[in-house]
Amino acid sequence: MEKKPYVLPQLGFGYKDLEPHISEAQLQLHHQKHHAAYVNGANAILETLDKNRREGIDGDAKALSKAFSFNAAGHLLHSLFWENLAPAAKTTPKPEGPMAKAIDSEFGSFERFKKEFSQAAVSAEGSGWAALVYCRQTNRPLLMQIEKHNTNVIPMFRVLLVLDVWEHAYYLDYKNERAKFVESFWNIVNWQIVNNRLEAILK
């Protein structure tokens, strides 16, 4: 089986297309520098593992595993994040179809869901993420607050919607006002993609 490296994904929109909610400069820095760093970091660790195995070197398993988890998770979460964003003119203010029904069933209303998700995002300690996930064992959409990229992650919970609240995601535009960034995020959520993710799980 041919081994392949991780690759920085192309965005489904231009760097200016999320303005005024995310500026061109902010988006370009986030995608080309920060996300790219996680891609390069994960690939470098895989190369180190391959080299160690070829040469019979015993590397630091704990350090390599931890670093790989951090970088690979950072790459995957960012890839999901870009997909669940869209220019405001191409989005709807709230979900429709199965996603709307699932949110209403779990949270009681979209407004309640939005409030709880926003609280999870704003209150994430240090650097992290807020995520709407789906538990297939209970058939429930649930909230998951992720620290860094890989702490507090619940195995097998499928991600439907993520929001990056590391400072690198918003500092150029919002300085230290994370709550303003979170509020602005709701204008550029690609609910069609979120709904498609849920439908794929329910099949």
| Confidence grade of residue 5 (pLDDT, cut at 50, 70, 90) | very high
Taking 90 as the threshold, does the pLDDT of residue 126 lie above it? no
Lowest average pLDDT, out of 37-46, 50-59, 68-77, goes to 50-59
**96, 195 Cβ separation under 8 angstroms:** yes
| E strands, the chain, in order | 128-135, 140-147, 158-164
Residue intervals of the chain classified under CATH 3.55.40.20 are 88-202
Measured CA to CA, the distance from residue 67 to residue 120 in angstroms comes to 25
Taking 90 as the threshold, does the pLDDT of residue 75 lie above it? yes
Q: What is the arithmetic mean of pLDDT over 14-33?
A: 98
| E strands, 106-192, in order | 128-135, 140-147, 158-164
Measured CA to CA, the distance from residue 159 to residue 176 in angstroms comes to 27
Residue intervals of the chain classified under CATH 1.10.287.990 are 24-83
Average confidence score pLDDT of the chain: 97
Token pair listed for 90: 């191409």
**159, 181 Cβ separation under 8 angstroms:** no
Give the pLDDT confidence of 106-124 residue by residue, as tens digits.
999 999 999 999 999 999 9
Q: Which CATH number fits domain 24-83: 3.90.25.10, 3.30.420.40, 3.30.470.20, 1.10.287.990?
A: 1.10.287.990
| Confidence grade of residue 59 (pLDDT, cut at 50, 70, 90) | confident
Domain 88-202: assigned CATH number: 3.55.40.20
